[in-house]
């Protein structure tokens, strides 16, 4: 039984997933990565959870945004406060101080910001200043800053303990993968992100559907490979938002509202990089409803970033690795890659020059709608642990070298097509075959079926859409189809 195998091989990294528990934590608005940590912390060996202890812990240490005013009141009245939260730390060049913001509480706009004590910086600088954001148990106090005239009140971070409950050992993870068949491993991945593999069945026969599982797993490609840009169109209720918002703390999903160039790319006034430099991916949920401030400027900045991985300000240039994910809803009558489907996404992404910079397209209508049968039930990999493994794999270079060894590229292959296919292929290899270190570690049949052909298919949809939206440029001989990349015997 697969569950027993998971328990045996990943004994320290598993959690008992239960739809009732999922609903309990969903009602508390906690993401999956936080939920699984709490489940492990407050469960016994059989997976029974002490819900009262969970609620007490959350009330004490994981505040909501509405609680921050009470924390400010306590600090101003001389109390030290402690809670678990996300923190962003940076050095203020103007006065030389190391400062912080708490983005989940509104940052500097709401007073959720201040100064990091020098001893905290010295002890944790490799953590706090290396990553754009961190989670931790934070201790704060308030006092008057007499360097200001007149003196001004200031919140100070006086202690920090990283929230890092799992040590990621990639060598162990790779060795563990060898114990599973590809079919078993696909199910391991699905259950790790809260989905029940048994819910993916053929609509006609009711038999298990590997193709539906694989279409879903395409959503995880930006988690595991740097700068993968994707478009997904799907009916409502297929779980697009959940995957990109709740699985990993290292991604960011923009949902509605107005997006500025400063927030997304670079803030020239604050000399601070935006979302693209702080996360593994930035998604735009229901992109039709998002308003972009000065769209032509943002479009130009995105085109440059998606091509070169560079963020430019007036006097700065920053390298970043976030993927750009565009999500949109689509009606059933438009489930056809040979029709103009990108008309369903925000106009800022519809221009052919921008569209060409997307590596692949996910046909989300081939992914089952969320229902009770789809929710994970049983022992599975801890979501937080799994998300951290995917993050660690982003910087592993051996997989792209294996892809180069495995493919034969025709002469004069389009550069963007080749980049897209290789990047997607590398991501599939990391996700499905993390144990592979050289060409001989994976059979031709598995590489072609699970890595090369899906990558080509995802890119071909982008190419087909380009022919529709800009026929003069793309619907011409030599540009209609992707290069005929084959396995190199």
Q: Write down the pLDDT at residue 177.
A: 98
pLDDT in tens, 275-292: 998 899 999 998 888 999
The torsion angle over the Cα atoms of residues 382, 385, 386 and 392, rounded to 10 degrees, is 180
| 443, pLDDT greater than 90 | yes
Per the domain annotation, does 282 fall within a domain?
A: yes
The reply to whether 324 and 443 lie within a common domain is no
Q: Determine contact, residues 380/11, Cβ cutoff 8 Å.
A: no
412 dihedral zone (left: phi>0; alpha: psi -120 to 50; beta):
left
How far apart CA 122 and CA 11 sit, in angstroms, is 36
pLDDT of residue 249: 85
Q: Which residue has the tokens 């980049």?
A: 419
Residue 342 three-state SS: helix
- Give the predicted TM-score (pTM) of the model: 0.87
Q: Where is mean pLDDT largest: 42-51, 183-192, 204-213, 275-284?
A: 183-192
Domain limits for position 178: 2-58+167-183
Residues 108 and 171 in one domain: no
Going by their DSSP bridges, the two strands 81-91 and 98-101 should be labelled as antiparallel
pLDDT at 165: 65
Q: Is residue 188 part of a domain?
A: no
Q: Write out pLDDT tens, residues 26-66.
A: 777 777 777 877 888 888 877 788 888 888 888 888 888 88
Of 49-63, 185-199, 368-382, the range with the highest mean pLDDT is 185-199
Question: Does residue 380 lie within any of the structural domains?
Answer: no
Asked if 225 and 390 count as a contact pair (C-beta separation under 8 A), the reply is no
Cβ-contact 382, 376 below 8 angstroms: no
Average pLDDT over residues 72-90: 92
Between 316 and 60, the more confident residue is: 60
Q: CB-based contacts of 97: which residues, under 8 Å, 6+ apart? A: 91, 115, 116
Query: Does the structure show a pLDDT above 80 at 481?
Result: yes
> Residue 173: its pLDDT value, please?
97
State residue 9's pLDDT score: 96
* pLDDT of the residue at 314: 62
In order, the DSSP letters of 198-238 are GG-B-TTT--B-HHHHHHHHGGGHHHHSTT--EEEEE-TTS
Sign of CA pseudo-dihedral 279, 281, 286, 291 = positive
Q: How confident is the model at residue 367 (pLDDT cuts 50, 70, 90)?
A: very high
CATH number of the domain at 209, please: 3.40.50
Instruction: Record the tokens describing residue 322, joined without a space.
Output: 């976030």
Residue 315 has pLDDT above 90, yes or no: no
pLDDT of residue 104: 86
The reply to whether 293 and 341 lie within a common domain is yes
Nearest residue to 29 (alpha-carbon basis) of 104, 83, 133: 104
Calculate mean pLDDT across residues 82-95.
86
- The per-residue pLDDT for 404 is 97
**Kind of pairing between the strands at 258-259 and 134-145:** unpaired
Q: Is residue 391 part of a domain?
A: no
| 274 and 331 share one domain | yes
174 and 42, same structural domain? yes
Question: Are residues 30 and 242 in contact, defined by beta-carbon separation less than 8 angstroms?
Answer: no
Q: Mark whether 250 and 368 lie in a shared domain.
A: yes
Q: pLDDT > 70: what percent of the chain?
A: 99
Residue 322 and residue 239 in one domain: yes
Mean pLDDT over 380-396 rounds to: 94
* Residue whose C-alpha is closest to residue 385's, from 12, 62, 9: 12
How many domains are contained in the chain?
4
Residue 431 lies in a domain: yes
Residues 6+ apart with CB under 8 A from 465: 337, 340, 341, 342, 355, 361
**In the chain, what is the straight-line distance between the N-terminal and C-terminal CA atoms, in Å?**
36
User: Residues 81, 213: one domain?
Assistant: no
Residue indicated by tokens 């306590």? 74
What per-residue confidence (pLDDT) applies to 371? 86
Q: Does residue 171 sit in the same domain as residue 153?
A: no
| pLDDT tens digit sequence for 92-146 | 877 788 999 998 888 888 888 999 999 999 999 888 887 777 888 999 999 987 7
């Amino acid at each position: 039984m697969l569950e027993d195998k998971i328990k045996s091989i990943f004994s320290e990294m598993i959690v008992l997933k239960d739809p009732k528990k999922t609903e309990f934590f969903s009602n508390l608005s906690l993401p999956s990565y936080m939920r699984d940590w709490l489940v492990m912390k407050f469960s016994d060996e059989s997976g029974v959870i002490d819900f009262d202890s969970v609620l007490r812990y959350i009330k004490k240490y994981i505040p909501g945004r509405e609680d921050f005013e009470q924390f400010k009141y306590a600090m101003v009245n001389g109390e030290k406060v402690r809670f678990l939260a996300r923190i962003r730390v940076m050095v203020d060049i103007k006065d030389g101080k190391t400062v912080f913001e708490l983005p989940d509480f509104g940052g500097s706009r709401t007073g959720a910001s201040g100064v990091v004590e020098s001893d905290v910086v010295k002890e944790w600088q490799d953590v706090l200043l290396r990553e754009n954001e961190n989670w931790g148990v934070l201790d704060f106090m308030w006092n008057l800053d007499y360097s200001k005239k007149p003196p001004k009140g200031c919140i100070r971070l006086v202690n920090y303990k990283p929230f890092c409950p799992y040590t990621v050992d990639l060598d162990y993870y790779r060795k563990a993968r060898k114990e599973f068949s590809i079919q078993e491993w696909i199910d391991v991945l699905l259950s790790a992100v809260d989905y029940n593999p048994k819910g993916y069945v053929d609509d006609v026969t009711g038999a298990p559907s590997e193709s539906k599982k694989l279409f879903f797993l395409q959503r995880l490609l930006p988690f595991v490979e740097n700068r993968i840009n994707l478009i997904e169109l799907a009916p409502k209720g297929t779980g697009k938002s959940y995957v990109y918002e709740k699985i990993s703390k290292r991604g960011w999903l923009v949902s509605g509202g107005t997006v500025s160039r400063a927030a997304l790319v670079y803030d020239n006034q604050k000399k601070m990089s935006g979302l693209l430099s702080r996360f593994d991916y930035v998604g735009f949920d229901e992109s039709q409803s998002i308003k972009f401030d000065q769209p032509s400027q943002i479009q130009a900045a995105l085109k440059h970033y998606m091509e070169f991985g560079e963020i430019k300000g007036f006097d700065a240039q920053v390298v970043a690795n976030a993927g750009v994910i565009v999500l949109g809803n689509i009606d059933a009558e438009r489930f056809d890659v040979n029709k103009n489907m990108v008309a369903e996404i925000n106009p800022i992404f519809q221009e052919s020059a921008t569209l060409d910079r997307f590596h692949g397209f996910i046909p989300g209508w081939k992914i089952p709608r969320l229902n009770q049968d789809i929710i994970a039930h049983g022992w599975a990999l801890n979501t937080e642990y799994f998300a951290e493994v995917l993050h660690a794999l982003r910087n592993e270079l051996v997989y792209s070298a294996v892809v180069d060894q495995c493919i034969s590229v025709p002469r004069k292959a389009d550069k963007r097509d080749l980049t897209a296919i290789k990047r997607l292929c590398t991501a599939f290899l990391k996700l499905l075959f993390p144990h592979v270190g050289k060409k001989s570690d994976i059979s031709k049949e598995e590489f072609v079926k699970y890595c090369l052909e899906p990558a080509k298919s995802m890119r071909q949809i982008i190419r087909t859409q380009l022919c529709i939206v800009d026929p003069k440029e793309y619907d011409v001989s030599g540009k209609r189809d992707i290069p005929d990349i084959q396995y190199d015997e």
